[in-house]
Amino acid sequence: MSRKPAPKPRNAQSPDQLMRSLAKSMEQCATAEQLNDNVITPFVSALETVCAARGYVLNIYGDKSNIVFTNEADAPVIYGLVEDYLDAVETDTD
């Protein structure tokens, strides 16, 4: 017997719709502060809330951002790896 996929909630958006909505919100921000206050901080807060509810740790690193989801035990190790990498990149560019 095959299982039917769960129906989408009525207000569900496709990933593409979400991306377009975020891009539109970002375009309306005239300054980096507005972008941070009106789009980035609320988006990251939502990620943190969902991750915390699932027992994940959210880490964002890098020049253009790398998002890493880990559990509590692995978070310090991942942080160390990323810091070592960023230090090595910085040394290479000096």
The rounded distance, in Å, linking the Cα atoms of 76 and 83 is 10
* pLDDT tens digits along 35-82: 989 998 898 889 889 988 998 887 776 667 777 778 888 888 988 888
- Mean pLDDT for 22-47 is 91
Specify the pLDDT at position 21: 92
- Give dist(CA 26, CA 93) in Å, integer: 31
**Closest to 61 in 3D by CA, of 79, 39, 42:** 79
Q: pLDDT category, 10, cuts 50, 70, 90? A: low
Domain extents in the chain:
16-54, 57-94
| pLDDT for residue 2 is more than 70 | no
Which tops the pLDDT comparison, 10 or 55?
Answer: 55
